[in-house]
Structure 1
Amino acid sequence: MINPDDPYEIQIAKQAKIIEALINRAERGHEVGGSAYSLFESAIALQTEVWEKTKDLEKALDTLGRASSELEIAYQAQERIQRNLADAMVAMEGGFALFSEDRLQVCNAQFRQLLPDIEPLIKPGLGFDDYLAAVSASKHLKRDGSETAGRPQPEHGSGPRFSSFVMELRNDRWFQISYRQTSSGNITVLQTEITDIVRENRREKNRLIDQQAHFLQAAFDHMPLGICTFSSRGDLLVRNERFGELLAVPLPLLKKGSRFQRIIEYVERHEILDRKGGQPVFAGWFKAMRRGDTVKERFRRRDGMSLDIRVRPLPDDGFIVSVMDVTTETQAAALLEQRVQERTAELTEANRLLQIHAHEQSRIEAALRQAKEAAEAAHTSKTRFLAAASHDLLQPINAAKLYLSMLTDAAGRPGAEDAISRLNRSFASIESLLQALLDISRLDSSGAEFNITSFDLGSLLKGMAEHLAPLATERGIELRIVPSTRWVTSDQRYLMRCIQNLVVNAIQYTERGRVLVGCRLAGNRLRIEVWDTGIGISEEDQSRIFNEFTRAGGVGKGPGMGLGLSIVERACRHLDHPIRLSSEPGRGSVFSIEVPLAAPGLASDCEDTAMEPMVDGSLDLIVMVVENDPDELHAMTQILESWGASVLAAGSTAEAAALMQEIGTAPDILLADYQLDDGDNGIETIRTLRALAGVEIPAVIISASRQKEFLRLGNEMSFAVLAKPVQLVRLRALIDWKTRARVA
């Protein structure tokens, strides 16, 4: 009937009600009538119930007593806690308050006494926001012109409250108020006086400022510049000693707070610095500073010291003045200017001398130009002479060889053939000598031209072997040329002339044995070697063997004029083909020439020096021959007619054109000398006759000229070039080759 979990007051009330009910029932039992037994039975039952209830009541009283004891203990603990809290709040240095459900529950005296004007409001039940509003509106707070500065503001929102702020009171006291919301929803407020901390920080700040000012002042004092700062009103703030020394201003004028205007007036009054144009040197500075411009001036003191004064504006509308001693720089600049003037004078004089020298040099250059023009004219004259010599010297030789050929065919008397053979050899020697002299002259000329091409060396060596075989047979020498399939890059004519000269020399200076021509690879070059078993060359002769008119073994030891090796040396030097000699007297010699290798198949149009065999059969062609030399024209006509050709002979292009128009048909082939009379030439003859005929007439130019331009025209106009003196075998083969396709 009694719930032990109920509070003790409720359990005691319920027990009292039960006891009262039992007593009332017992009293009503005396009023009931009946027999004695019934009364006794009722009394026994009632007594039993009374005993049970009494036991329950005793238990309840015992429980109530224990609960009362525990409640008393709790009350005592609560009172002790409250006393301890009160003691703690009293002992706290700062103010403390506890707000429960945003209402003030308890606080200490310091909390109430912080702001006297709100002390009457600090009572239990005061709202937390009302407390913050009262603190913010307190008259004891120091204002700085802002409505909310230094005042706490109520917080709005559902999150936990937490804040801390510092307040400055009117009597230079400082407090920090902080509050925090606990996990149970209560708010604790702490008021802590931080006046000592603020004042200590202020003193430390001032100390640091003073220390920095001391450091700054020390730095200023040790600077070579004079430094002085002024406020926006022109009051002196900071300066160093150097400032006063440079401007010669007394110390009383350089005290803190001195006006900039007074310092200027002192400097101007005592004329410490030079004036400009009679006006104060500092006029207009204030206007420039008000515009934010930087002022820079250079002055000279009475004692000769040069000063640079610069005034710069500062961000706080003040300005800084710096003074620098630039005497050394000024003196250096003056010295430099003096040196520049002296150097300018020297340069002016040097320029005058250079002009005189230039004038003299111009005169010398004019003389050199005239000398150069004279040399070029001489060179041109020499070139023309060589061209004329090539033509005029070889012209009669060519005609003589043609007549000798005719005589050889016609000779039948005994002894005539031997005479003609000797005459042929004589003319061959003259031809060889003239060719050698002309080659040396061309190679010594600064305008020597070379036709560099790629060609098959093997076929040319084979042709040379066939050409020189009769000479070797006549001398009783075995001539052997090792076959080669290599291609090289060089001037074909000069290279073959060099190899031929070496082989001819080897044959002529070998009494018995053999001459061997072969090729060896030497990296990316090919070494062409000529071996002989001849008389050899001594070391003394090896140093001069390549000179003109020099022969091994002394004069009279061999045929020829000693020009072959000279031509070899000149040609190889121009072509950059190294030439080497190894020889031992009595055992023979080895000459070698190194030439660059070329890729097979990259051949250019080249001249074939091989000796073609004489073509058999009659030459059933109409041949136009244009030659200005009557003897050579007659001889060439006789040779061609002996071959069975019908010859049209002309001495110029005009005569050739007239002959072709007269017969009414174009010739089968045209043979024209390059050099004709009155500026006429064989190339013009080819152009004219081809234009008249309307077809490309096969043509051969006969000339001693080997210029690149001449050979290029031959490739462009499709005509062949045959060198003088003419080899009849070569001429017959060339005519047959040029007309073969036309006849077919």
Structure 2
Amino acid sequence: MTASQLIDPADSLEDQNARLIAISEALMAKIEQSSDPSGLAYAQFERAAILEGEVRQRTVDLERALELLHKTNERLGAANRAAEAARANLAEAVESINEGFALFDEDDRLVMSNSRFCRDLADVVPDIEPGLSFHHYVELISQSIYLALPDGVTKGEWRDRRMQRHKDDRVIFNVRLTRDRWLQVGEHRTATGGTVILQTDVSDIIRAEREKRDRLMDRQAQMVRATLDHLNQGVCIFDNDLRLVGWNTGMEALLDRPIHGQLVGITFDALIARLNDEITFSEHFTRDHLLAWAHRRRARRPITFEVTRRPAQILSVFAQEMPDRGFVISFTDVTTEREAARALREMNETLEARVADRTEKLGHALDEARRANASKTRFVAAASHDLLQPLSAAKLFVSFLSDRATDDLSRATADKAVSALASVEHIIEALLDISKLDSGQAIMNVQDVPLNEILSSLRTELTPMAEAEGLSLHIRDTDHIVRSDPVFLRRILQNLVTNAIRYTDTGRVVVGVRRRGDAARVEVWDTGPGIAPEDQKTIFQEFKQLGPYMSGSKGLGLGLAIVDLACASLGHDLTLRSEPGRGSCFAVTVTRSSLAQRGPTPRRSEGREARPRAEGLVVLLVENDEELASALSLTIEEWGSHVVHAQTAEQALALLDEIDIAPDRLLLDHQLGPGMTGLELYKQLRAQFGALPARIITANRDRALAEKCRRAGVDLVPKPLEAASLIALIDDEGPAADR
């Protein structure tokens, strides 16, 4: 048995120590009295010593526990004293507040309040005790005999509204009590979810504000009266019972009588009846309409109408409802304004008649101008077509002579003739472009255009021209793809480069492309004489040239005019930077395509062979111009092929039936006079002989015709014809649709 089994753990430490001491003494006594020789006495002594050690340890623990308990009691006492002092200080502070104060806990139970809380509600004060619920507190307030309820509000409604406000974190409002007293109630939420209520007596403040407002209203009433008397309009005011309560001197002037006696307090209906013989309403707004508006039970909208008083006086009437359901009516004499408006209307009618007459005359003049412009456009197109026909023949004849020339002088002369004819061709093409752009008939087919294809073709075409002028032409390759019309973009760049070559005496011309965000800027630099700032707008006008070139030795001055018009039509930004003596830079900015960029387009071959490789072919030529047909026949037959010529489509079909030969190539003029066109003839021949290499030739530059030829699978070649175009036809191995 151990020591722990001899004592009861439930006993106090004092009892346990006493019991252990008693056990130890008993064991010691027994050891001393025992004569057991076997050592039992020593064992008992040893057990007693152990018990004494446990007793000593328990005694130490007991002393420590008592000391700790003593310190804890001292701290608890200090804390209780501090809490009591804080509570006393808080109660004293709350009581010192001038306003009524109350604190509710997070469960909406009253924790504490001061003596001023609900002091003005004497019948509620006895029930203000800690533990009072907020709902019961509001119920007590709503039932108090000292609470002055708002008009039309019951006690239950006031209680519900008060409880609804209790849901907000912060509320401030005024409560009216009996005997003209007011309490301002402020309700604030604490951090722990409790509620603090402050009640402040604001009766003196509200009474002072009321007196101040009354004085202000009296002053405002005087000011309003003075203002009304100084108005040009007549004004009268009716209360919510439709009785006259206010007016001004202007109203008395309109009525030609003072308003007193029976008129004071007169009803609106009676006043209208008195004025029945003096005022005439219009058919759009009658007396009944006005009376119905005045007696309307719902909100009235402002109204404006006019009446006539006496034969010559016109009054504009405006009526508007006031907040108290009364209304105010003003009368304005607008006789002078209406007379002026009538005179102005008559004047306007006279002016409109004159303007209509002038407009009609201008319309006729505009129609004449449009007809003249259309006639000019048709004339330019027709003249260009008529000029391009013999020009094509002349170029072919001269080329034929150049090939047959046996001496250098004849060959040089023929080459100069070809160059002169090419210049005439460029002038005619420029006139056609100017005519279309001016008349708005130019059709822009915006699409993705690889810039390098245009620049490569310009390099091939214009390098000989630059070398002939003693200049170096550098056109750098690019990989940009832009959104533009390929034909007009090529014409723009061709004109800029050609213009730079023509007006540069020495040096070089450089063409390059720079990237500018989502756009590409094509720049044409030259080392020419430069352009003065005052002349940089003039050069873009038609037939305008500068300095020594005004004689037309470098052209007619149409190239830059075409560039300006074409860029404007396409929406491309055209800029010029130039300084006299230091050259010029023309730049065209074009939007880049969203397609992925591809590598630079390979340069085209620098030239074609002088004659086609194929020989012995039968070429059907349908051309109604004798000179051009003769030149074409002479050239093709010189290359070793045979020509079957007809002037019209009908003659061609009949001739083919007669000789019973299927042609190898087709060269068809589109405009063949009355009857079938060249494109229609091509479709019929294709149905009869199958797909044949063919070209449609025309001086018509209409984009719609080119699109029709593309859909039909045949190439369209513009006049004047080049020998290279004929060589391409002879060497062609299949129709456009199959290539």
TM-score norm. by structure 2 comes to 0.52
SS of aligned partner of 1:415:
helix
Aligned partner of 1:376 among 370, 380, 397? 370
Q: Which residue of 2 aligns with 1:86?
A: none
Q: Deviations over 1:127-171 (max 9, x none)?
A: xxxxxxxxxxxxxxxxxxxxxxxxxxxxxxxxxxxxxxxxxxxxx
Q: Deviations over 1:232-286 (max 9, x none)?
A: xxxxxxxxxx999979xxxxxxxxxxxxxxxxxxxxxxxx99xxxxxxxxxxxxx
**How many pairs align?**
453
Note if 1:706 corresponds to 2:677: no
- Name the aligned partner's letter for residue 666 of structure 2: L
- Name the aligned partner's letter for residue 598 of structure 1: S
Note if 1:613 corresponds to 2:608: yes
- 1:299/1:637 Cα in 2 relative to 1: closer, same or farther (>3 Å)? same
Q: Which residue of 2 aligns with 1:525?
A: 519
Q: Deviations over 1:480-524 (max 9, x none)?
A: 221111111222222222222222233334444332211110111
The answer to whether the 8 A contact 2:613-2:731 is kept is no
The answer to whether the 8 A contact 1:611-1:729 is kept is no
- 1:359/1:540 Cα in 2 relative to 1: closer, same or farther (>3 Å)? closer
Q: Which residue of 1 aligns with 2:488?
A: 494
Distance 1:598 1:433 in 2: 33
The answer to whether the 8 A contact 2:618-2:665 is kept is yes
SS of aligned partner of 2:538:
coil
- Name the aligned partner's letter for residue 384 of structure 1: R
- Name the aligned partner's letter for residue 733 of structure 1: A
Note if 1:573 corresponds to 2:568: yes
Q: Which residue of 2 aligns with 1:298?
A: 269
Q: Deviations over 1:287-309 (max 9, x none)?
A: xxxxxxxxx99334997799999
Q: Deviations over 1:559-582 (max 9, x none)?
A: 444433333233223322222223
Note if 1:716 corresponds to 2:687: no
Note if 1:419 corresponds to 2:413: yes
The answer to whether the 8 A contact 1:401-1:427 is kept is yes
The answer to whether the 8 A contact 1:397-1:431 is kept is yes
Aligned partner of 1:469 among 463, 470, 477? 463
SS of aligned partner of 2:640:
coil
1:613 to partner: Cα distance: 1.9
1:666 to partner: Cα distance: 4.6
Q: Which residue of 2 aligns with 1:485?
A: 479
Distance 2:325 2:483 in 1: 76
The answer to whether the 8 A contact 1:475-1:507 is kept is yes
Distance 1:697 1:679 in 2: 23
SS of aligned partner of 1:545:
helix
- 1:448/1:297 Cα in 2 relative to 1: closer, same or farther (>3 Å)? same
Q: Which residue of 1 aligns with 2:212?
A: none
SS of aligned partner of 2:269:
strand
Distance 2:369 2:581 in 1: 48
1:389 to partner: Cα distance: 1.6
Q: Compare 499-508 and 459-468 and name the one that shifted more.
A: 499-508
1:557 to partner: Cα distance: 11
1:363 to partner: Cα distance: 4.3
The answer to whether the 8 A contact 1:475-1:511 is kept is yes
TM-score norm. by structure 1 comes to 0.51
What's the C-alpha RMSD, in Å, of the aligned pairs? 5.0
Distance 1:373 1:546 in 2: 28
Matches within 5 A, 1:170-189: none
- Name the aligned partner's letter for residue 568 of structure 1: V
Distance 2:240 2:545 in 1: 97
Distance 2:296 2:550 in 1: 102
Distance 1:432 1:349 in 2: 64
Q: Which residue of 1 aligns with 2:35?
A: none
Matches within 5 A, 1:427-466: 427-466=421-460
Q: Which residue of 2 aligns with 1:91?
A: none
Distance 1:577 1:425 in 2: 32
SS of aligned partner of 2:592:
strand
Distance 1:243 1:440 in 2: 79
Uncovered stretches (5+) of structure 1, i.e. residues with no partner: 1-200, 202-210, 212-241, 248-271, 274-295, 313-324
Q: Which residue of 2 aligns with 1:398?
A: 392
Distance 1:245 1:741 in 2: 94
1:417 to partner: Cα distance: 1.2
Distance 1:245 1:397 in 2: 98
Uncovered stretches (5+) of structure 2, i.e. residues with no partner: 1-144, 146-178, 180-238, 245-261, 277-289, 298-323
1:388 to partner: Cα distance: 0.5
The answer to whether the 8 A contact 1:463-1:611 is kept is no
Q: Compare 660-669 and 399-408 and name the one that shifted more.
A: 660-669
1:467 to partner: Cα distance: 1.4
- Name the aligned partner's letter for residue 707 of structure 1: D
Note if 1:588 corresponds to 2:559: no
Matches within 5 A, 1:588-737: 588-600=583-595, 613-614=608-609, 616-678=612-674, 681-691=677-687, 693=688, 695-734=690-729, 736-737=731-732
Q: Deviations over 1:588-617 (max 9, x none)?
A: 3322211111134799xxxx9987623641
Distance 2:738 2:275 in 1: 112
- 1:659/1:536 Cα in 2 relative to 1: closer, same or farther (>3 Å)? same
Aligned partner of 2:497 among 486, 500, 503? 503
- Name the aligned partner's letter for residue 595 of structure 1: V
The answer to whether the 8 A contact 2:480-2:597 is kept is no
- Name the aligned partner's letter for residue 270 of structure 2: F
- 1:360/1:684 Cα in 2 relative to 1: closer, same or farther (>3 Å)? farther
Distance 2:241 2:591 in 1: 88
- Name the aligned partner's letter for residue 496 of structure 1: R
SS of aligned partner of 1:299:
helix
Q: Once the two structures are aligned, what percentage of the paired residues are identical? A: 35
The answer to whether the 8 A contact 1:537-1:552 is kept is no
Matches within 5 A, 1:106-505: 298-300=269-271, 332=330, 335=331, 360-413=354-407, 415-505=409-499
